[in-house]
Amino acid sequence: MPESPITVNEMPQPGESLPARNLQLDALRGIAALSVMLFHFTSWYGKAPVDGILALRNFVDTPHIHFYFGDLGVPLFFMISGYVITKSCESRKTISSFAYSRFARLYPLYWCSLIFAVICYLPSNARLASYEPEWLTIATNFSMLQTAIGASNVNEAYWTLYIELQFYSLVALALATQRSKQIPVQVLGLTSTYAVATAFRCWDWIPGIWRIKSMFPLVIFLNYFALGIWVRSLQRTTARKTKELTAICLSCAFLFVRPPYNALAVLVIFFVFWAACEQKLKILENRLLVLLGTISYALYLIHGPCGYTMLNYFQEHLQIDLLITAAVLTSILAAALLTYTIEKPMHNLLLRQTGRRKTTQAH
């Protein structure tokens, strides 16, 4: 799930200056969201029979371009999340403020996207085949915990949000036990254990151990978060950086242990991400890319309902490459609308409420 480089947790106290926004990370979030969208519209749509609760049609005509590696935007999202959440914990260390900020960041826009998906998907399903809406599944999705109880995602893109929630729970546990400074080491311990267990195929021959991955799918993807966590830890260190550099090297090595994504490609993406964290890629500070970063969470959530519905309805009436282009532009416009009418106002409301609470506590 996309993260904002400046969160509520990092907002300054009265008299403090606002932290400088890393526009290069914003741009990378935009590129990641665009990549995932292009992957879904050009490669996933023609192969998958369903997306969440939506029945997908096959391509009538094959697109000329397939964005096969667009799903690599997902590990990039996880790296950015690891970096940003670790950074946010440095300035606010109470579990209540962390949970409040994460809820306000994730849920309002998620609920809007879920309603939007149902509005788009149900008529499309009814058009393609005899279909009975799965109302219990839809209701369960409002919790964002549907994966935990074995229910389907309404929108298949939601699967990453459950991974994010598990990561937030790990961070919240560290905050609750006042061990937030140990998060990098604790995560390295978990990723090392998972890498060893995977290398020796313990998941296959130790009875019942597979349930760990089933119940906590975060362990499969935690190494991507770890890369972001250790880059932030490296930035904070003023003394010798041997520990941090060693941890980054180990995490890079773990990328090659039966990875869910192409390891070499992810390694390249990591070095680009690292350079952006150090603000070395000025070329990314492009207005269009930064705008895409601003709307990236909304774009990630709603591109499926927008694009897949258009493909289902119109591919027999419009040349497929033109239709995909129209679906991309429509998704971007819809994401911008949701960002500036839902996400931004809710964020500002949260800041005002947080400010009032601090003022009351001060008096």
Q: In whole angstroms, give the CA distance from residue 217 to residue 279.
A: 32
Determine whether 63 is exposed, middle or buried from the number of CB atoms within 10 Å of its CB (0-12, 13-18, 19+).
middle
Under a CB-based contact definition with an 8 Å cutoff, are residues 167 and 81 in contact?
yes
pLDDT of residue 128: 58
Q: What are phi and psi of 48, to 5 degrees?
A: -90, 135
Which of 130, 141, 149, 156 lies closest to 44 in space, CA to CA?
156
pLDDT of residue 363: 46
Q: Which distant-in-sequence residues (6+ apart) come within 8 Å of 207 by Cβ?
A: none
Residue linked to tokens 């990723």: 191
Q: In whole angstroms, give the CA distance from residue 316 to residue 68.
A: 23
DSSP string spanning 296-347? HHHHHHHHHHHHHHHHHHHTTTS-HHHHHHHHHHHHHHHHHHHIIIIIHHHH
Q: In whole angstroms, give the CA distance from residue 119 to residue 200.
A: 47
pLDDT of residue 193: 95
Radius of gyration of the chain (CA): 21
Treating both helix axes as pointing N-terminal to C-terminal, what angle do 218-236 and 73-89 enclose, rounded to 10 degrees? 50
Q: In whole angstroms, give the CA distance from residue 362 to residue 360.
A: 5
Treating both helix axes as pointing N-terminal to C-terminal, what angle do 95-128 and 296-314 enclose, rounded to 10 degrees? 0
Determine whether 149 is exposed, middle or buried from the number of CB atoms within 10 Å of its CB (0-12, 13-18, 19+).
exposed
Under a CB-based contact definition with an 8 Å cutoff, are residues 290 and 282 in contact?
no
Q: Which distant-in-sequence residues (6+ apart) come within 8 Å of 60 by Cβ?
A: 315, 316, 320
User: What is the residue-level pLDDT of the chain in tens, covering all 363 positions?
Assistant: 656 544 434 444 444 444 578 999 999 999 999 999 999 999 888 787 777 877 787 788 889 888 999 999 999 999 999 999 999 888 766 888 888 888 888 999 999 999 999 888 877 776 655 556 688 999 999 999 999 999 999 998 999 999 999 999 999 999 988 888 899 999 999 999 999 999 999 988 888 888 888 899 999 999 999 999 999 999 988 788 899 999 999 999 999 999 999 999 999 999 999 999 999 999 999 999 999 999 999 999 999 999 999 998 898 889 999 999 999 999 999 999 999 998 888 877 876 776 555 555 444
Q: In whole angstroms, give the CA distance from residue 273 to residue 76.
A: 8
Residue linked to tokens 């961070």: 171
Q: In whole angstroms, give the CA distance from residue 242 to residue 189.
A: 17
Helical (H) or strand (E) element with 76:
helix 73-89
Q: Measured in whole angstroms, how far is the alpha carbon of residue 65 from the centre of its chain?
A: 25
pLDDT of residue 15: 42
Q: What are phi and psi of 19, to 5 degrees?
A: -60, 140
